[in-house]
Amino acid sequence: MTNHDDDQPEHKSAFGEWLVTQKDRSDLVGQLAIGAVADRRFPRNGDPEAVRKHLSAMQAEGDMFAAVDDAESDWLSA
């Protein structure tokens, strides 16, 4: 059997889906999640890179990109 630990684990929810569940946090990740919930075009099935692309297209502030970095770390360790 081959172990694919380097691949995105299949049991994890998509990054975008996980992110919207973080809306009650009091940090930048929470602010990002609140925006994601309100954004009908937010890539809920997307990975962190898809979220970064979406934020770039929306001309988001730099703080939101830092929030994606923090959220990605939390998501990977969850």
Give DSSP secondary structure letters for 2-71.
---TTSPPTTSPPHHHHHHTTTT-SSHHHHHHHHHHH-TTS-TT--HHHHHHHHHHTT--HHHHHHHHHH
Question: Which tens digits make up the pLDDT trace of 41-72?
Answer: 999 999 999 999 999 999 999 999 999 999 99
Which of the four pLDDT bands, split at 50, 70 and 90, describes residue 28?
Answer: very high
What pTM was computed for the model?
0.83
Task: Provide the mean pLDDT of the chain.
Answer: 90
